[in-house]
Amino acid sequence: MTKYILTSLICFTALIGYSQDKIKVVSSASIFQDMAKNIGGDKIISESIVPIGGDPHTYTPKPSDVELVSNADLILINGLTFEGWITELIENSGTKAKVVLITEGVEPITSQKYHNASDPHAWMDASNGVKYVYNISAGLAAVDPENALFYADNGAKYNSEIKNAHNYIKKQIATIPVEQRVLITSHDAFQYYGRAYDITLNAIMGISTESEAQSKDVKRVVNAIKTSKIPAVFIESTINPKMLQQIARDTGVKIGGELYADSIGDKDSEAPTYIKMLTHNTDVIVNALTGSSIESTKIDHDDTSNNTWIYIALGAVMILSLLLILFKMNK
Ligand SMILES: [Zn+2]
């Protein structure tokens, strides 16, 4: 019995020592939590304040978040009006953690709707993702200089994967015919994506989901659908799809699929990481915006082959009837 207690005690102490050695990194959102995990590996514990599937624009911090932030060694924030609630949370927690603005060096896009606000969704352009990774690596090196080389090395490897994703997206989007290269979503989260990969954008809501869509916004999107030849619009994983589904029904276009913008998906989804989120979004967009022409040709083709079979069957019936008449006449 004493042996078991002793073993458990040793394990418990080892576990505490193990987690105490690790750098506690707290990110505002799941996308940055995943980036940090890729750079910090087993040297860090990477956590997110807003859970997967949550909306970081409208998030209300919980009491447990105060504890999470107060125990952190490093806090990663996007800034550019993405997580406005975090400043107060950091102040209230009394944390001594280093706070890193991971969009440092990114060229911000000014909101088209609110001219004094910057669009926060810079990670949607993978070439900005590379800058995020540099900033996170530097932040980790600052709080854990002993492992600076480890973080720089992992950061470089991870960045080459992000650059591959960037090239993949560019090539894929270019396959959509220009007149159909229009992306309509629930909220305006794809401006950086559109600028980097050459696709025109339109959204019902602005760069934040805080203010509700007005009827004039719905009218603008409906007009854009009617004047362009786009076959599909897209819902988002963190936003209620009701309004966009209604617009799709009213204008007769399809829902092209679900996109991930402000959160990665859970581990069983098709977008469980930052890189997969970008490539999955791209595959969904390309399939839906190029799919209609493929589908209509397929339907036409099927119609012709169906008709051929009908003619053959009719011909056979006629020949049989003729033979039957001849047979009866001979009797
Ligand atoms: Zn957003």
Structure confidence at residue 310 (pLDDT):
57
13 lies in the same domain as 81: yes
Query: For the segment 137-165, what is each residue's pLDDT rounded down to a tens digit?
Result: 999 999 999 999 999 999 999 999 999 99
Report the range of poorest mean pLDDT among 21-30, 83-92, 211-220, 294-303: 294-303
Asked whether residue 272 is domain-assigned, the answer is: yes
For residue 236, how far is its CA from the centre of ligand 1 (angstroms)?
10
What total of structural domains would you count in the chain?
Answer: 2
Structure confidence at residue 103 (pLDDT):
98
Asked whether residue 255 is domain-assigned, the answer is: yes
Residue where one domain finishes, among candidates 172, 194, 211: 172
Query: For the segment 222-234, what is each residue's pLDDT rounded down to a tens digit?
Result: 998 988 878 999 9
CATH number of the domain at 218, please: 3.40.50.1980
Asked whether residue 157 is domain-assigned, the answer is: yes
93 lies in the same domain as 190: no
Mapped onto helix, strand or coil, the DSSP state of residue 258 is strand
Report the range of poorest mean pLDDT among 169-183, 205-219, 270-284: 205-219
Could you list which residues have their CB under 5 Å from ion ligand 1? 189, 262
152 lies in the same domain as 220: no
For residue 210, how far is its CA from the centre of ligand 1 (angstroms)?
10
Asked whether residue 150 is domain-assigned, the answer is: yes
58 lies in the same domain as 203: no
Structure confidence at residue 206 (pLDDT):
86
Asked whether residue 238 is domain-assigned, the answer is: yes
- Spatial separation of the C-alpha atoms in residues 194 and 162, rounded to whole Å: 17
152 lies in the same domain as 234: no
Residue 325 pLDDT > 90:
no
For residue 78, how far is its CA from the centre of ligand 1 (angstroms)?
12
Structure confidence at residue 329 (pLDDT):
66
For residue 123, how far is its CA from the centre of ligand 1 (angstroms)?
11
Residue where one domain finishes, among candidates 154, 172, 190: 172
CB neighbours of residue 214 within 10 Å? 11
Report the range of poorest mean pLDDT among 133-147, 159-173, 290-304: 290-304
Q: Cα-Cα-Cα-Cα dihedral of 104, 106, 109, 111, to 10°?
A: -30
- Proportion of the chain above pLDDT 90, given as a percent: 72
CB neighbours of residue 168 within 10 Å? 16
For residue 207, how far is its CA from the centre of ligand 1 (angstroms)?
6
Asked whether residue 317 is domain-assigned, the answer is: no
Q: Please state the pTM of the whole predicted model.
A: 0.82
Residue where one domain finishes, among candidates 172, 189, 217: 172
Residue 290 pLDDT > 90:
yes
Q: Domain span at residue 22?
A: 2-172
DSSP letter, residue 188: S
219 lies in the same domain as 247: yes
Asked whether residue 59 is domain-assigned, the answer is: yes
25 lies in the same domain as 78: yes
Q: What is the DSSP string of 97-134?
A: -EEEETTTT--PPBPSSSTT-B---GGGSHHHHHHHHH
For residue 315, how far is its CA from the centre of ligand 1 (angstroms)?
62
233 lies in the same domain as 280: yes
113 lies in the same domain as 7: yes
Structure confidence at residue 84 (pLDDT):
94
185 lies in the same domain as 269: yes
Angle at 145 between CA 141 and CA 151, to 5 degrees: 40
Structure confidence at residue 192 (pLDDT):
97
For residue 295, how far is its CA from the centre of ligand 1 (angstroms)?
32
Mean pLDDT of 165-171: 98
> Bridge partners of 196?
none
Q: Taking all residues of the chain, what is their mean pLDDT, rounded to a whole number?
A: 88
For residue 106, how far is its CA from the centre of ligand 1 (angstroms)?
17
Asked whether residue 104 is domain-assigned, the answer is: yes
22 lies in the same domain as 117: yes
Report the first-to-last Cα separation within the chain, whole angstroms.
105
Query: For the segment 201-227, what is each residue's pLDDT rounded down to a tens digit?
Result: 999 888 888 888 889 999 999 998 988
186 lies in the same domain as 157: no
